[in-house]
Amino acid sequence: MIIILKQNADKEKVQGLLHSLEEQGLTCHRSDGAHTTIIGLVGDTSRVDINSLRANDTVEDVKRVSEPYKAANRKFHPDDTVVTVGEARFGGTHFSAIAGPCSVETEEQIIEVARAVKASGAKLLRGGAFKPRTSPYAFQGLHAEGLELLLLAKKETGLPIVSEIMDLSHLELFRDVDVIQVGARNMQNFEMLKALGHCGKPILLKRGLANTIEEFLMSAEYILAGGNEQVILCERGIRTFETATRNTLDISAIPLLKHHSHLPVVVDPSHAAGIPWLVEPLAKAAVAAGADGLMIEVHNNPKAALCDGAQSLTPAQFDSVMKKIKAQLAFEGRML
């Protein structure tokens, strides 16, 4: 349920109203917009008397929210949420690029890639230290050492870092990681989502391989419900019958998510495509559909990569994509 307050509503009366709602066991999320203030109510609102709320002289209107996600709902928070990490900003009029290898392999590799992607305009460095691999015999990542190498690359370049967590018992290892990624395979690891709701760091939440938009937003809701409002949604392609691509990029997810939610939406064309030359057209399509950022896999030697080399761009290819994206954003009046 949302309460739209009257403009210039008496502050003390509003406090009294919030207090009485909280006494009924409800949590109030306040959103102060440019023109309106909205109070989103979370909890069992079935016994709330809408008519008496409407009669309150601080209240303009009251509406029920039918969707199961509340804090992630745009009705609760009409303005776009902007997530800021170093110089990176996602949401509203802000667009940023995240780039780096699928997995951190060596000091030379991660530093070389970090320098290159920074020079091309990326504002965040990605790199997996814990890798969710289909085969137990495939490279699983460098674990704690991988995170240390990422921190070294951050020190060298100043780029904040994003890395995937696969198990909550590793959370302490992520204390200096700027953004924690929840991978597609963990999108519905609800205990993990609950814990990340209290971690105080921005979360890059990837859409599950076969999850609906509503399920995706419900997973974001878990993080928001814990009090962490810094959630970036990432569309990375879904499973369909199509085998020509690794996944199928769900372009409609971008405007749909932005319509239903205030959270920023980033697109990962690398995992969606699985093919390097498809990354550019998918990235352009994502920008045209309103994405707030891109996450692209870049490797200094894709042929020798220990993970996802087949979809990685070289630094030169990434630079060329970024030039085109910059021009496209400028045409739209947005900036990279």
Question: Of 205 and 218, which has the nearer Cβ to Mn ion?
Answer: 205
Which one of Mn ion, ligand PEP, none interacts with residue 33, CB within 5 to 8 A by kind?
none
Query: How far is Cα 148 from Cα 227, in angstroms, rounded to an integer?
Result: 28
* Minimum CB distance to Mn ion, residue 254 (Å): 20
Q: Which does 258 bind (CB under 5 to 8 A by kind): ligand PEP, Mn ion, none?
A: none
The CA–CA distances, whole Å, from 286 to 20, 120, 128, 167, 319 equal 45, 19, 23, 30, 18
- Using CB positions, name the residue nearest to ligand PEP: 183
Report the site for Mn ion in 316-335 (rule: CB under 5 A). Answer: none
Is there a contact between 10 and 58 (Cβ–Cβ < 8 Å)? yes
Q: Which is nearer to ligand PEP, 40 or 101 (CB)?
A: 101
Which residues in the 119-138 window bind ligand PEP by CB under 6 A?
Answer: 128, 132
The yes or no reply on residue 271 touching ligand PEP (CB under 6 A) is: yes
Please state, in angstroms and rounded to a whole number, the distance separating the CA atoms of residues 9 and 19.
Answer: 16
Residue 57 neighbours by CB distance under 10 Å: 9
1, 102, 122, 249: residue in contact with ligand PEP (rule CB under 6 A): 102
Distance (Å, rounded) from C-alpha 232 to C-alpha 250? 17
70 vs 206, beta carbon nearer ligand PEP: 206
- Residue among 160, 163, 154 at smallest CA distance from 111: 154
Whole-number Å distance between alpha carbons of 329 and 39: 34
* Binding to Mn ion in span 98-127, by CB under 5 A: 102
Say if CB 110 and CB 153 are below 8 A apart. yes
- Cα–Cα dist 67/212, whole Å: 14
Cα Rg, the chain, nearest whole Å: 21
When the beta carbons of 128 and 315 are compared against ligand PEP, the nearer one is 128
Residue 132: contacted member of ligand PEP, Mn ion, none (CB under 5 to 8 Å, by partner type): ligand PEP
Residue 233 CB, shortest distance to ligand PEP, in Å, is: 12
Considering the complex, what minimum distance in angstroms separates the CB of residue 128 from ligand PEP?
Answer: 5
Q: Are strands 161-165 and 231-235 parallel, antiparallel or unpaired?
A: unpaired
CA distance 216 to 200: 21
Which residues, numbered 277-306, are part of the site for ligand PEP (CB under 6 A)? Answer: none
CB of 86 to Mn ion, least distance (A): 22
Continuous H helices in the chain: 11-23, 50-55, 107-119, 144-157, 190-196, 213-225, 253-260, 269-273, 276-288, 315-331
Closest approach, Cβ 66 to ligand PEP, in A, equals 30
Tell me: does residue 308 bind Mn ion (CB under 5 A): yes
Phi/psi for 257 (5° steps) reads -60, -40
Which stretch, 10-18, 214-222, 235-243, 305-313, contacts Mn ion (CB under 5 A)? 305-313
* Residues in 158-187 that interact with ligand PEP by CB under 6 A: 183-185
- Closest distance to ligand PEP from the beta carbon of 82 (Å): 23
One-letter amino acid of 323: K
Binding positions for Mn ion, rule: CB under 5 A: 102, 308
Binding positions for ligand PEP, rule: CB under 6 A: 102, 128, 132, 183-185, 206, 236, 271
